[in-house]
Amino acid sequence: MSGKATVVAPSNIALIKYWGVRDPERAIPWNPSLSMTLRRCTTRTTVAGREAGAADEVLLRTAAGLEPATPPFAARVVAHLDRLREWAAVGTPFRVATENSFPMGSGLASSASGFAALALAFAAALEREVSLRQASLLAWSSGSGSAARSVAGGFVQWPATGDEDNAAAQLLPESHWDLRDVIAVVDASAKEVPSREGHRLASTSPYFERRLAALVERLRRVRIALEQRDFAALAPLVEEEAVDLHLIAMSSRPPIFYWRPATLGVLERVRHLRRAGIEVCATMDAGANVHLICTPAAEPFVAQELRRLPQVQEVIRDRVGPGPERVNDHLF
Ligand code: DP6
């Protein structure tokens, strides 16, 4: 048996994207990615051991209270519990409850925060100390590469080095640069094509090799822009990278389209804002929603402008955050 532990882990928004796997079984990426850890978009997960012989139980906290998770969701959690049990060499069944602060499957990375929270809460319930490197590897073993980055705060690169290790590392702490992420939710439904499928198909795009070649320099320049807090240098790189991901998706065989007309409407507004001198740029993950990265001075205006767009259903104001935290506020 184990104790009970709860961890709140953040989502993250990639400035350099993970898109494409050289080994689909182990989710080994073709390229290093770099993200900003968020503060408000989080997953809270409580893990506790159950008596021997019981089944794993997976619960979701919604507005209605704690409910059994849907079978596909529960199956993904139990599959990851199996990997975590193997790592910890335990056979204990577990009860897991989880709650998201943002809509699931909406292109906001719920699996990143979800698997990071699960891995960290599991280790904490067993009183296992894990280094950031180990935590990253445990989160990544879920098959969600972006989860490997959600174990640290600030600005995080995964894999941190080109060697076989494949763990993430923090490049810069949250205190380095107070960047904001104003998220325009234009479509809160689950995406039609999971990232897993996009990763598998990425290398079928005739532009994929060109992307990999360009990424070396783009990553280097993004890192310098972050180090120097140079928004004017960062903005075009972030947008170029987001469009590049979608260019690869749209030219994969078969093609994948994540954008909606509303996505383009938001992108057009961002261009207007920038022409008016506002420090803002846009990025999109594998979904239709748009993340507007901006400075603190620009944030209130950016949020207000987004609220005026009829195609924007919800505006989430987030910012760079400190990374996961163990808390005593359990879900059961
Ligand atoms: C487009 O395989 O980590 O968000 O598990 O569905 O969150 P999920 O996806 P994952 O791929 C993430 C792809 C991306 C870009 C990124 O976050 O780097």
Find the residues whose C-beta lies inside 6 A of ligand 1: 14, 17-19, 33, 109, 111-112, 144-146, 195, 199, 285-286
Three-state SS at 134: helix
- What is the average pLDDT across 238-242? 98
Q: In angstroms, what is the span from residue 168 Cα to ligand 1's centroid?
A: 14
CB 151 within 8 A of CB 170: no
CA distance 16 to 263: 19
CB 18 within 8 A of CB 196: no
Three-state SS at 85: helix
- Which of 25, 33, 195, 247 is the pocket-test mutation for ligand 1 (most atoms within 8 Å of CB)? 195
Q: In angstroms, what is the span from residue 35 Cα to ligand 1's centroid?
A: 11
Reference 154, options 317, 42, 37, 32; nearest CA is 37
Reference 241, options 225, 222, 254; nearest CA is 222
Three-state SS at 295: coil
CA distance 157 to 148: 9
**pLDDT of 190 higher than 80:** no
- Which of 146, 247, 259 is the pocket-test mutation for ligand 1 (most atoms within 8 Å of CB)? 146
Reported confidence tier of residue 63, pLDDT bands at 50, 70, 90: confident
| pLDDT, the chain, mean | 95
* Strands 94-100 and 57-62, sheet pairing: parallel
Three-state SS at 186: coil
User: Using N-to-C axis directions, what is the helix angle for 132-140 and 110-125, rounded to 10°?
Assistant: 120
Looking at the CA of residue 286, tell me the nearest atom of ligand 1.
Answer: 1
Q: In angstroms, what is the span from residue 12 Cα to ligand 1's centroid?
A: 10
So what's the pLDDT on residue 189? 80
pLDDT single digits (tens) 137-177: 999 999 999 999 999 999 999 999 866 678 999 999 999 99
* Strands 280-283 and 290-294, sheet pairing: antiparallel
Residue 10 has φ and ψ, to the nearest 5°, of -90, 160
CA distance 120 to 269: 39
